[in-house]
Amino acid sequence: MQTEFKDSKGIQLRYAILKPAKIKPDTKYPLVVSLHGIGGRGSQKWEDNCAANKVLSQPAMRQKYPCYIIAPTVDPNQRWDGAPLAALIELIKSSLKEHPIDPSRIYVTGQSMGGFGTYSAILAEPHLFAAAVPVCGRGQPDQAKKIVHLPIWIFHGEKDSLIPPRHSREMVAALKKAGGKPIYTEYAGVGHGSWGPAYAEEKLWEWLFAQKRKDIKSKLTPKQVLQFFNEVMLGEWTGVDKETKKIAEKFTIVWKEKNKSVKMEFTVFEKGKITDQFTSVTSYDPELGLFVEKIDPGNGQPKGIRYLRWDPNSNNFNAELIKPKPRPSTDIKMSWNQIDSNRWNFKFQVTENGKKVFSREIIQTRTGEKTKK
């Protein structure tokens, strides 16, 4: 069905929508947003706008992957940015109210100019989509950290002379450097038409429809950021192993830059002897919506990065090791549960291939002033 959407600023966006062949009661379906390239601008036939539409509209695919498809069309002089992109985002959010769409399974893909648009869409709304598939597009490597959490499968042709594959390679490298796990497929000998083999990949669709957006917590206010620094971090701390009752660590956290970042000096003990020492700096990244801790071992070892996610309601938080990245078979969990205003129960657990290989609990007690300078 072809129709039009007018956003809050009066911008009109022509689009087509394909619904699941059969809509079951009390069932919500994925939404695939399909963005065309330059050749699809001004087109009246949505089936020709993007190769993804042709694949997903086939009877066998509609039966295997029942979903909504939105295929918008921009005018001949427009691209997937500015007003058209803003209207598209509004259209997606409006569709959630009008159709039984699962808000945790919204996907976006596009070819060529639509590949550019795919990156633009997820950068504009990093937490709206569950996954993205840019095909022979070009992203913004300097913005990679904003979408590092998002599952992304990137495709390109090795012989693409219109949009060289270096653009996808650079984006993949930037995402990995920021801690992401993008998938990249580059077709040897293929030129600009890499969307043909890309959308023919059965594994792509299996992967795409398996993605589900994780719950995204709202970003912290400046007041909440200071609350975390002042009430959770600042001070002199001693950690005691819950099992052995021996001192396992001592650390001091002070302001590095008042109200913006803190510095920690950390010492690890084993049987009363110092076994390790390092420093770190923690600051809040408003784009990521979390705290970033940069660790310096100070002994020639590679520097590390941890993401700290704090829930101001429960006042508990956890950490994710971003760098160095654990092996694919290894999972490391770090969490802090508050006992009282000056005590935390820290849990550290390592699993390999689904089996727990190490765990430890430490009671961390603040022994010095919260606002020690």
- pLDDT given at position 184: 97
Q: Does residue 163 sit in the same domain as residue 288?
A: no
- pLDDT given at position 312: 84
Is 371 part of any domain? no
d(CA 107, CA 133): 8
Is 373 part of any domain? no
Number of domains in the chain: 2
Q: Does residue 188 sit in the same domain as residue 228?
A: no
Per the structure, the complete domain to which residue 134 belongs is given by 2-210
Is 215 part of any domain? no
Average pLDDT of adjacent 10-residue blocks, the chain of 373 residues: 82 91 91 90 66 92 95 88 92 91 94 95 92 96 91 97 96 93 96 95 96 74 94 96 96 96 96 93 88 90 90 84 82 91 95 88 85 43
Q: Are 176 and 182 in contact (CB under 8 A)?
A: yes
Is 125 part of any domain? yes
- pLDDT given at position 352: 87
- pLDDT given at position 287: 74
d(CA 104, CA 334): 26
- pLDDT given at position 58: 93
Q: What is the pLDDT of residues 310-362, one digit of tens each?
A: 888 778 899 988 888 787 778 899 999 999 999 999 999 998 877 889 999 99
| Domain final position from 210, 234, 266 | 210
| Domain final position from 210, 231, 263 | 210
d(CA 166, CA 158): 9
Query: What CATH number does the domain containing 329 carry?
Result: 2.40.128.20
Query: What CATH number does the domain containing 73 carry?
Result: 3.40.50.1820
Question: pTM of whole model > 0.85?
Answer: no
Which is nearest to 74 in space by CA: 13, 8, 17? 13
Q: What average pLDDT does the structure give for the chain?
A: 90
Q: What is the pLDDT of residues 151-187, one digit of tens each?
A: 999 999 999 999 999 999 999 999 999 889 999 999 9
Q: Write the single-letter amino acid at 172.
A: V
Q: Does residue 27 sit in the same domain as residue 72?
A: yes
Q: What is the pLDDT of residues 81-101, one digit of tens each?
A: 989 999 999 999 999 888 999
50 CB neighbour count, 10 Å cutoff = 31
